[in-house]
Chain A
Amino acid sequence: MNTARQTTWIVLFWAVMHAAWASDVQIQDPYVRAVPPGQRVTAAFFVAVNASTQPRAIVKAQTDTAERAELHEHIHDGGVMRMREVPRVVIPAGGRLAFEPGGYHVMLIGLKRALQPGERIDLTLVLDDGSRITVHPEVRRVQPHSGAAHQHHSTNH
């Protein structure tokens, strides 16, 4: 009985701490791109807002929808687009950072099924403090460029 009670406390403590940690960073407007038939890669986008006084980094992404999820950035280098995996993406203290077309994205590699516009998938982001945020990006059709300036770096540099 004692063991059960201890376990309950540990679980409760963990849940409270987990919630507290996760609240530092908020993920807004997550979405993932619908893809042409047969396409096995896609990208997920969102805006990460860090309300804490410490910089936080996203260090990992996980999903059940694909074999693998990676953090990628695009480097627009004199007309040439280079896409690279990055080990971490820092969200500045009190700042925000957009994962958006042409900038950072979570690349989903080896999609396990076709994604239908309107459905939602699970995406878990792991932060450098060990906290995890699970969001449910909506599958959206590819949108044209809005013509807005492509500014993928944080607003708080």
Chain B
Amino acid sequence: MSSRSTRSTRRRLLLGAVALLALALGAGVALWSGRVAPPKGYPGLGGDFTLRSSTGPVSLADFRGKAVLLYFGYTFCPDVCPTTLATIAAALQELPQEQRDRVQVIMISVDPERDTLDRLAEYVRYFDPGFLGVTGTAEEIEGVLKQYRAVAMKVPNEKDPEHYAVDHSAHTYLIGPRGNVLGLIPYGAAPARYVEALKQAIEH
């Protein structure tokens, strides 16, 4: 693969930051790969936030008592986000109704510039009518990304400024009924992995 010959210092710094984050998250993913949630979750990772959906403000705290799957994405994402959302939707179909009622899926758009609340709602409902799409100002999103040690970076497109891509963390957070992060499910996991994780979380 040919790589771009010019890479700015900013980009190198970003890559460094990403590498550090990857190390931190790698530990989390490794733990989750063991398929056993650590008894105390991930202290210092995650936490409450309030963002907006097409039907009003949404707080993580609204879903106490439920397991939450939290995913950072954007609607212009042609591949990774749709595949992940379709995988989660398939996983929910495998849960009995009473367990499904105890799960909330939230996608946080990291692209508030293009993702209006209505567009976001339409997008997530395509995968499952119960999915919630939320976003906020760039600062608010930045705050939530920090809480969850996730990253999202706009990649400018000189040829066509409107069609930029956004590099983003591609894993899904499993959040327990008490609001704490129980695990990270890596990109590429099959529906069975989510089913197992959700069952554990609901019983947590």
Contact = CB atoms under 8 A, between A and B. Distances in A.
Interface of A: 33, 35-43, 68, 72-74, 76-84, 86-88, 101-102, 105, 107-110, 141-147, 150
Overall SS of chain B's interface? helix
A33 B25 CA distance: 30
A107 B163 CA distance: 11
B1 A86 contact: yes
Nearest to A44: B78
Interface size class of B (residues with CB under 8 A): 35 or more
A79 B169 contact: yes
Interface of B: 1-2, 18-19, 21-23, 25-26, 29, 75-80, 82-87, 89-91, 119, 122-123, 125-127, 151, 155, 160, 163, 165, 167-171, 186-193
Nearest to A33: B82
Given A80-B22, A101-B79, A38 B122 contact: yes
Contacts of A88: 2
26 contacts: A35-B82, A36-B126, A41-B78, A72-B78, A76-B170, A79-B170, A79-B187, A80-B151, A80-B169, A80-B170, A81-B80, A81-B167, A82-B155, A83-B78, A83-B80, A83-B155, A88-B2, A101-B80, A107-B78, A108-B78, A110-B163, A143-B83, A144-B191, A145-B87, A145-B188, A145-B189
B123 A144 contact: no
Nearest to A147: B190
Contacts of A33: 78-79, 82
